[in-house]
Amino acid sequence: MAVYRGFDQRELDREYSPSSRVADFDAELAAYARESGRALRELPGHRELRYGADGPELIDFFPAVPGAPLHVFVHGGYWQELGKEDSLFPALDFVARGTAYAAVGYGLAPAWTVEQIAAQVTEAVVWLVEHAAELDVDPERIVLSGSSAGAHLAATALLDGRLRGRISGAALLSGVYDLEPIALSYVNEPLGLDGERARRLSPLFADLTALPPLVLALGEYETGEFARQQAEFAHAARDAGVPVRELLIGGRNHFDLVFDLGRTDTVLGSAVDAPARA
């Protein structure tokens, strides 16, 4: 029996299981940990910054040159896995080219609701913008990015009025912008979303007119639903007058796409670098 858009339950669960399109999921996560550890060992000046009173409300910050652009990254993991400590590796590329880097930490489901998680990420980004001077970064050149559920959280943060006109660009990778199918899939077990909350938490159905220029990127090896999610969000953003650049990155999957984020010798990295250099 169809559960969503002609998918039965097994098919829908597979569509929202990006690991089904990779040969070795554990190796992908091991690469995150290995390279993030290298960033901690090799990059000077790392600081852990608190943006809120609760335990997970922390940011890992890597400075660059004085007055540098800042790249802010929100990790994925379906609102229930991974952490900022797994998201430090892009700093190796960003700092090397003179861009400061911040990885946002937040609480995970089921201890935290999606609403609470989204609010935490929003507060973290606002905190970074408001503390740009003391971090010695250029407040006019702050770029926000996120991967998978992190793209959802980054998009949600960009809708907050306090950030209007204060983020120079955003890069959303393999994002989830419509949470209705999430609420119907295996992903929802620790989230507990119902249909009304899923729609309210979906950036796809929000007023997108305040968004900065967007780069929306997918790896070649993604499921059809992730491609649909990106296409529909790109269409909605363009209808709202937002400049959008869509990318399909050959040879990359849902998990290793983020390794291109800070590399200006890649299609994705070059596109992400543009608003920071403007």
Read off the pTM. Answer: 0.97
Q: Is residue 100 one of the residues assigned to a domain?
A: yes
Tell me the residue range of the domain where 190 lies: 9-277
- pLDDT digit string, tens, across residues 77-100: 999 999 999 999 999 999 999 999
Residue 48 sits in a domain of what CATH number? 3.40.50.1820
Dihedral sign from CA coordinates of 64, 249, 205, 152 = negative
Task: Give residue 276's pLDDT.
Answer: 65
Q: Is residue 143 one of the residues assigned to a domain?
A: yes
Tell me how far apart the alpha carbons of residues 75 and 145 are, in angstroms, rounded to a whole number: 9
- pLDDT digit string, tens, across residues 3-28: 999 999 999 999 999 999 998 999 99
- pLDDT digit string, tens, across residues 227-249: 999 999 999 999 999 999 999 99
Q: Is residue 260 one of the residues assigned to a domain?
A: yes
Q: Is residue 47 one of the residues assigned to a domain?
A: yes
CB 84 within 8 A of CB 105: yes
Q: Is residue 201 one of the residues assigned to a domain?
A: yes
Task: Give residue 274's pLDDT.
Answer: 78
Provide the edge-to-edge strand list for the sheet that holds 100-104. 47-50, 58-62, 100-104, 68-74, 137-147, 169-173, 214-221, 244-253
Q: Is residue 86 one of the residues assigned to a domain?
A: yes
Tell me how far apart the alpha carbons of residues 134 and 264 are, in angstroms, rounded to a whole number: 27
Tell me how far apart the alpha carbons of residues 115 and 110 are, in angstroms, rounded to a whole number: 12
Instruction: Please say if the pLDDT value at position 63 is more than 90.
Output: yes
Q: Is residue 74 one of the residues assigned to a domain?
A: yes
3-state secondary structure of 27: helix
- pLDDT digit string, tens, across residues 162-203: 999 999 999 999 999 999 999 999 999 999 999 999 999 999
Task: Give residue 273's pLDDT.
Answer: 85
Q: Is residue 97 one of the residues assigned to a domain?
A: yes
For residue 45, which phi and psi values (nearest 5 degrees)? 85, 5
Q: Give the percent of the chain with pLDDT over 70.
A: 99
3-state secondary structure of 213: coil
**Residues 230-269, buried b or exposed e (16+ Cβ, 10 A)?**
beebbebbeeeebebeebebeebbbbbbbbbbbbbebbbb
- Number of domains present in the structure of the chain: 1
**Residues 143-175, buried b or exposed e (16+ Cβ, 10 A)?**
bbbbbbbbbbbbbbbbbbeebeebbbbbbbbbb
